[in-house]
């Protein structure tokens, strides 16, 4: 069954349709959450939160974008929201001598981190990123360039 049909059924309370969506997207959502959070354990917890929120918010899914795009936007927002709560919305100052790549990525502003992870780690195309965040593909490219500059600075290169 297609994503749109399963999403429509699940929005009306069909648990089996939601389970199909869950199975279809579990590994990709987990991968995204783990990479954005910097922790496999935290990624698993956030993945659960994403699917709980997806179940709750599915009635608002209107099909204007692909279900996968909607779910990945939701996952990104859950991780970023959680990080802002955990850190009080303050990004720690990096220590260039002891910084590893994961810490450097974590030190990036939320927008830069999301674009960098989605493009360079998860392999999303600029058009997909643009659809997720409601920006243009050119805007995605510009944000990625800026994220890479900030990452190089954080790594002391």
* pLDDT tens, residue by residue, 114-139: 899 888 877 888 998 888 888 999 99
- For 39-96, write each residue's pLDDT tens digit: 889 999 999 999 999 999 999 998 888 899 899 889 988 887 776 655 444 444 444 6
Instruction: Determine, yes or no, domain membership for 79.
Output: no
DSSP one-letter string for 124-154: --HHHHHHHHT--HHHHHHHHHHHHHHHHHH
55 lies in the same domain as 97: no
> Residue 16: which domain range?
1-64
98 lies in the same domain as 59: no
Instruction: Determine, yes or no, domain membership for 10.
Output: yes
**Residue 154: band (very low, low, confident or very high) from pLDDT cuts 50, 70, 90:** confident
User: The CATH number of the domain where 137 resides is what?
Assistant: 1.10.10.10
pLDDT at 157: 66
Instruction: Supply the pTM of this predicted model.
Output: 0.65
Instruction: Determine, yes or no, domain membership for 70.
Output: no
55 lies in the same domain as 111: no
CA 123 vs CA 66, 127, 128, 129: distances in Å: 17, 12, 10, 10
Q: What does the H/E/C string look like for 25-49?
A: HHHHHHHHHHHHHCCHHHHHHHHHH
Count of domains forming the chain = 2
pLDDT at 91: 44
For residue 110, count CB atoms less than 10 angstroms from its CB and return exposed for 0-12, middle for 13-18, buried for 19 or more. middle
Instruction: Determine, yes or no, domain membership for 33.
Output: yes
pLDDT at 155: 83
């Amino acid at each position: 069954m297609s994503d749109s049909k399963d999403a429509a059924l699940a929005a009306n309370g069909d648990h089996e349709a939601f389970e199909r969506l869950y199975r279809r997207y579990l590994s990709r959502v987990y991968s995204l959450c783990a990479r954005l959070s910097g922790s496999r354990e935290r990624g698993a917890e956030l993945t659960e939160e994403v699917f709980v929120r997806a179940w709750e918010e599915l009635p608002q899914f209107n099909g204007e974008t692909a279900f996968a795009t909607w779910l990945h936007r939701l996952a990104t927002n859950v991780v970023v929201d959680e990080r802002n709560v955990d850190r009080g919305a303050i990004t720690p100052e990096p220590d260039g001598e002891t910084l590893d790549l994961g810490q450097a990525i974590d030190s990036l502003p939320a927008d830069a981190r999301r674009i960098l992870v989605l493009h360079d780690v998860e392999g999303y195309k600029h058009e997909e990123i643009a659809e997720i965040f409601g920006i243009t593909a050119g805007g995605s490219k510009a944000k990625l360039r800026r994220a890479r500059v900030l990452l190089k600075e954080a790594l002391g290169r």
